[in-house]
Amino acid sequence: MNDKNARWAVGVFGDSTESGSWQHGEETHAVAVFGDSTLDMRAINPGDEITIRAVAGFGDVKVMVPAGSRVEISGLALFGSKRNEVSGDATAGGPVVRVKAWAIFGDVKVA
């Protein structure tokens, strides 16, 4: 893990929201413990690849991506859920968002 190119969004007993520009290859960590963490990634450029490590413990992580994104979600959901709610098909050459999720009594949702 290269923390030099990493961004953190942490909500512990509260909420955290990150938005703005995202860089190709950037790794993002979203943590929600008894709170919520929201990542607004709708400004991703076509062709960008972003990796998110999401941990939801008694809280929720929500990732918002632009239409046409290809979403790959993996990980573990224990008494919680991890789900991709992006509607429509991925666009050729569109952004790729990889979510590695740990949802324990919480939810990780990509929309």
pLDDT (0 to 100) of residue 96: 93
Closest CA to 71 of 107, 38, 45, 110: 110
Beta strands, E only, 13-69 = 15-18, 27-33, 36-40, 49-57, 60-64
pTM of the model: 0.89
One-letter identity of residue 64 = M
> In angstroms, rounded to a whole number, what is the distance separating the alpha carbons of residues 57 and 7?
19
Per-residue pLDDT at 100 exceeds 80? yes
Residue 91 is predicted with a pLDDT of 84
In this prediction, residues 53-65 reach a mean pLDDT of 97
pLDDT in tens, 67-98: 899 999 999 999 999 999 998 888 888 899 99
* Residue extents of the structural domains in the chain: 3-110
* For residue 1, pLDDT beyond 80: no
